[in-house]
Structure 1
Amino acid sequence: MTHPPSPTRRLCLIGLALAAVSGAATAHGPTRQKVTETIAINAPAAAVWARIKDFSALQAWHPAVQASPADKGNEIGSVRQLTLKGGGALTETLEAWDDAGMKYTYRAKDGGALPVTNYTSTIRVTEDAGKATVEWRGAFYRGYPNNNPPPDQNDEAAVAAVTGVYQSGLANLKKLVEGK
């Protein structure tokens, strides 16, 4: 036979439950956002990789980039200064570069023209049956790190901006490689 909890025990249980709920309700700050975009390109992966592997030549395939010089090319630690066609700039550092694996990873110093912070991204080319798949993935926090961000610095704005960058770049890459 079980006995109901004592009034003291019941109050303790209620207090613990309230503390757990209120702790969750007062949690604050941004959560890490992630974006992954992929595109299939009707060309060998090596041909696609040849088009995008130069860390200092993003302007050769991304329609929003006017210039992207990198101080050390594809060497780890190389810093590229992106100038955007519509105005704005970004500074990115090459974190990893793998020619055999057809991928590289870079980190933005700050959000620059994007409403993000702590932004890291990897672009990778793989092949399946003679066709390339390009995956561009990134992880970041919104541009405004505190509670109640303005609309242009919130999670939705950050995700939309990065998604737009990836989609426009991949669509243009496909067009350039396939010649359509």
Structure 2
Amino acid sequence: MRVSFSAALALAGICIAGAAHAHGPTRQKVVETITIDAPADAVWKRIKEFGDLGWHPAVEGTTATDGNKVGSVRTIALKGGGTIVETLESYSDADHKYGYRMKDPGPVPVNNYTSTISVSGSGATSTVEWRGAFYRAFLNNDPPPEQNDEAAIKAVTGIYKSGLDALKKSVEGK
């Protein structure tokens, strides 16, 4: 059986279009920064303990299995209920930076979430950068609104902004 060139081209176009439609979610990224009127060492001192998120307004309490050692698992109890479980993947006191991964995102509509938080600066001013990469909670096509890309981005952005705002107030004493 011979297939004409135009028939083969049409079939290839259908296959490509179908594959493009069924690709699933794409990795999302959120980066938030804040400038704090305090030296970097003072800001780092406030956030450097992996097992202490007392500076974040959504957090009721935290525990960590092994402090600031890579592999430590922290469980975050949220105000209003719910928990998040995260694993410390990198830690550098000298660089004022650590990275972690959510093992169980709890109420946060994300999947395969990794994040870093770092403090930099010189003199009396510092900058805190909180960045994350993740997929939406619903990994198949046609996610429900509460588990789509927009919901994931909104949730992570809200976590970062509210945390950084509270950190600034805590460190600056305002």
Q: Same fold (TM over 0.5)?
A: yes
Q: Is the 8 A contact 1:38 1:133 kept in 2?
A: yes
Counterpart residue number, 2:52: 57
Gaps of 5+ in 2: none
Q: Of 2, 16, 26, which residue of structure 2 is paired with 1:20?
A: 16
Quickly say closer, same or farther: Cα 1:9–1:105, change in 2 above 3 A. same
Q: Of 135, 141, 157, which residue of structure 1 is paired with 2:135?
A: 141
Q: Cα distance, 1:129 vs. partner?
A: 4.9
Counterpart residue number, 1:155: 149
1:83 aligns with 2:73: no
Tell me the matched-pair count. Answer: 172
Q: Which has the larger radius of gyration?
A: 1
Counterpart residue number, 1:30: 25
Rounded Cα–Cα distance in structure 1 between residues aligned with 2:114 and 2:121: 24
What is the DSSP-based 3-state SS (H/G/I as helix, E as strand, rest coil) of the residue aligned with 1:144?
A: coil
Q: Cα distance, 1:128 vs. partner?
A: 4.2
1:114 aligns with 2:103: no
Rounded Cα–Cα distance in structure 2 between residues aligned with 1:111 and 1:81: 10
Q: Cα distance, 1:13 vs. partner?
A: 3.8
Q: Runs of 4+ in structure 1 displaced over 3 angstroms?
A: 7-19
Rounded Cα–Cα distance in structure 1 between residues aligned with 2:58 and 2:9: 57
1:48 aligns with 2:43: yes
Rounded Cα–Cα distance in structure 1 between residues aligned with 2:163 and 2:129: 11
TM-score, normalisation: structure 2:
0.92
**1:119-163: per-residue Cα shift (whole Å, max 9, x none)?**
111000011453110000011111112222111111111111111
Counterpart of 2:100, as a letter, is: Y
Cα RMSD of the aligned pairs, angstroms, is: 1.6
Q: Cα distance, 1:30 vs. partner?
A: 1.4
Rounded Cα–Cα distance in structure 1 between residues aligned with 2:20 and 2:112: 24
Rounded Cα–Cα distance in structure 1 between residues aligned with 2:115 and 2:18: 35
Counterpart residue number, 1:173: 167
Rounded Cα–Cα distance in structure 1 between residues aligned with 2:19 and 2:158: 35
Identity of counterpart residues, as a percentage?
59
Counterpart of 2:134, as a letter, is: F
What is the DSSP-based 3-state SS (H/G/I as helix, E as strand, rest coil) of the residue aligned with 1:162?
A: helix
What is the DSSP-based 3-state SS (H/G/I as helix, E as strand, rest coil) of the residue aligned with 1:124?
A: strand
Q: Cα distance, 1:17 vs. partner?
A: 3.8
More strand by share: 2
Gaps of 5+ in 1: 1-6
Counterpart residue number, 1:104: 98
What is the DSSP-based 3-state SS (H/G/I as helix, E as strand, rest coil) of the residue aligned with 1:58?
A: coil
**1:33-74: per-residue Cα shift (whole Å, max 9, x none)?**
111100011111111000000011112x10110111101110
